[in-house]
Amino acid sequence: MSEIALSVNNLVVEFPTDSGPLRAVDRVSFELERGTIMGLIGESGCGKSTVAFALLNSVPTPGQIVSGQVDYPGVGDLLKMSDEAQRLFRWQHVAVVFQASQNTLNPLRRIDEQIRELATAHRMRDPKALLERADSLCRRLRLDSRRVLHAYPHQLSGGMKQRVGIMLALLLQPDILVFDEPTTALDGLSQESVLQIIREIHDEEGLTGIFITHDLGIVSEVADTVAVMYAGRMVERASSHTIFSGPKHPYSQALMNALPRLSGDPHLARGLRGSPPKVIGDQFKCLFRDRCEYRMEVCDQSEPQLIQVAGEDAQVACFLHGKEVERVSV
């Protein structure tokens, strides 16, 4: 039996704008099985990072989680925990390597000082054990620990800083790791070595995680399952094998068609005209309809729900794939 490590239910996150609340994440639900990596993909602005922030209940101001649950089985709904419980929970239970995490290191503190601060924040009396783990993780991440741990962030290259971000995320042995574009800011060689390390950790320790990226090539290499977001909604979810061998949603198909070009260019999806809409308030329509070559009348009249595709390990929110007979939580 598979064990669920994270269950997100009907998550809605909004940012206030002059025209009304922008729905950055719109009723997103999914489950993450222990020991698996879910790839989260979609064009720029579709809400991927906002989901990552919500998993820590740390959506940047003025954003707000309006409704939903972020349930970690055995621990409970993060959104209902006290502030202190949430603080202890972050990094220890779930850690996020943020997009451009190299910029999130404190520029005024040496890396070992930042590790000591983490130990104090997590009520560890003796930071020694944590520094020892940092030392061994550095070796694993092919970082010279003597040099890196005593360095200030500005003394490290971009690739090194990104690996330090991963080291810090792994430090408290979190159950779940979220990587938000961990390789985007890196050159090809550093990208490959960071991916190699993530693959190794996945193989050896059975990593449970979410890997956010624009790069479908990377997703096909590291992810067991794939979730596709469009304009804040989840429009398809399937095993990696299923989605790469036959994407169901016209949006996923367009993304896959763009595969050779998508790598390295976050804004380009060949074969896709226009850009995703900014969603203000409730929209009971298919949000992809203006860009879809299969647009039907029903796409303007109601909203396709994520439904199970008969006989396949895939869920899709598109009227081409049946009526809303069975609402599923994936």
Q: Which residues bind ligand ATP (CB under 6 A)?
A: 15, 22, 24, 42, 44-50, 60, 63, 99, 214, 266, 278
Task: Give the Cα separation of 212 and 227 in Å (integer).
Answer: 10
Residue found under tokens 């609340």: 21
Write down the least CB distance from residue 227 to ligand ATP, Å. Answer: 12
Minimum CB–partner distance for residue 99 and Mg ion (Å): 5
User: Minimal CA–CA distance to 21: which of 51, 79, 65?
Assistant: 65
Residues 6+ apart with CB under 8 A from 80: none
- Comparing CB distances to Mg ion, the nearer of 130 and 198 is 198
- The residue among 99 and 253 lying less far from Mg ion, judged by its C-beta, is 99
Write each residue from 57 to 96 as x if it is in contact with Mg ion (CB under 5 A), else as -, in one continuous string: ----------------------------------------
Place of tokens 């239970």: 93
Contact yes or no for 37/222 (Cβ under 8 A): yes
Considering only residues 89-128, where is the footprint of Mg ion by CB under 5 A?
Answer: 99
Q: Cα(147)–Cα(323) distance, rounded to whole angstroms? A: 59
Which residue of this chain has its Cβ atom nearest to Mg ion in the complex?
49
Both structure tokens of 265: 């260019």
Say how far apart CA 97 and CA 104 lie, in whole Å: 10
- CA distances 131 to 108, 194, 204, Å, are 19, 21, 22
Cβ proximity to Mg ion, 99 vs 240, nearer residue: 99
Of 99 and 253, nearer to ligand ATP (C-beta) is: 99
Q: Which stretch binds Mg ion (CB under 5 A): 22-30, 40-48, 118-126, 219-227?
A: 40-48
Total residues interacting with Mg ion, rule: CB under 5 A: 3
With CB under 5 to 8 Å by kind, the binding choice for 140 among Mg ion, ligand ATP, none is: none
DSSP 8-class letter at 273: -
Q: Which residues pair with 6 in a beta bridge?
A: 32
315 touches Mg ion (CB under 5 A): no
Q: Which does 45 bind (CB under 5 to 8 A by kind): ligand ATP, Mg ion, none?
A: ligand ATP
Q: If contact means CB under 5 to 8 A according to the sort of partner, which of ligand ATP, Mg ion, none does residue 159 touch? A: none
Q: What is the Cα–Cα distance from 139 to 164, expressed in whole angstroms?
A: 11
Q: Which residues pair with 21 in a beta bridge?
A: 16
**C-beta closer to ligand ATP: residue 64 or 86:** 64
Distance between CA atoms of residues 179 and 177, nearest Å: 6
Near Mg ion by CB under 5 A: residue from 29, 49, 102, 253: 49
**C-beta of 103: minimal distance to Mg ion in Å?**
13
- Whose tokens are 């050896």? That residue is 204
Query: Segment contacting Mg ion (CB under 5 A): 48-56, 257-265, 304-312, 322-330?
Result: 48-56
